[in-house]
Structures are given as structure tokens and as C-alpha cells.
Amino acid sequence: MFQDGKAEEAMNFYTSLIEDSAITNIIRYGANQAGDEGTVMQATFTLKGQEFMCIDSNVKHQFTFTPSFSIYAVCHTEEEIDALYEKLKEDRQALMPLGDYGFSKKFGWVNDRYGVSWQLNLV
């Protein structure tokens, strides 16, 4: 996932929200490299064992994330889904507020502060 100078912040946020998650590797831009020195050239993190890659792109793109691609998170308790939804939604857009939509007893869809779309499902 591309981030504009906020890759490490985003990874720290995500790994703080979900159990069994960690930043597993960070390679930073050094002096005289293509990106801003100290920013994330390439990093990996896991969320419940699923690996993701994150970078601070040194190229400014004309696009951002699209909600047509989402991280789908399975939650096992009401407390888990409610807490995760609220933290991800803070001052952001809820595409589908938490509710019973017939296909799930509790489902929510939200774009987080970093532009990433999350679909949360209580099982």
C-alpha cells in the first residue's frame, strides 16, 4: 500500500488495533536515494498472520485507494467489531454503518484515516 510519508504511522496504527499483528521489516531511504531520507522505502507487516507491504512513495500519484478493494476482517465478539469499527472510523467515512444487513448479523464498511477501506464482519 502506498502512503505519502505516513507508512510507518499507518503500520503502527493497524498493528495496534488487531491482535497477533506486527511490523516485521522496515527498510528506510538513506541519503542520496530516491525518497526522503528516513522514510519507508519498503516495509512489511502482518495482521493476524496476513502479510502486507507498505511504502512511502516518492512519486506523487493522481490516485488514492478505492473502496472496491478492502481489507476484510472477521470479528468474533460484539466488543471486537464495535471497537475496531470505532477506531477505524474516527472522523472518516462510513460506507455502511454497523448493522444487520441480512447476509451478516453485524457488518460494517469504513474508509480509515489513511484511505484504506475495511469491511468488518461479526461471525
Residue range(s) occupied by CATH 3.30.720.110 in the chain = 70-122
Task: Please tell me the class of the 70-122 domain.
Answer: alpha beta
Whole-angstrom distance, CA of residue 121 vs CA of residue 103:
10
Q: What is the pLDDT of residue 106?
A: 98
CATH of domain 2-56: 3.30.720.100
Mean pLDDT of 9-31: 96
pLDDT digits (tens, 9 = 90+) for 73-120: 999 999 999 999 999 999 888 999 999 999 999 999 999 999 899 999
Q: What are phi and psi of 86, to 5 degrees?
A: -65, -40
Can you give the pLDDT at residue 74? Answer: 96
In terms of phi and psi (left: phi > 0; alpha: psi -120 to 50; beta: otherwise), the region of 18 is: beta
| CATH 3.30.720.100 domain span(s) along the chain | 2-56
Supply the pTM of this predicted model.
0.87
- Count how many residues are written for the chain: 123
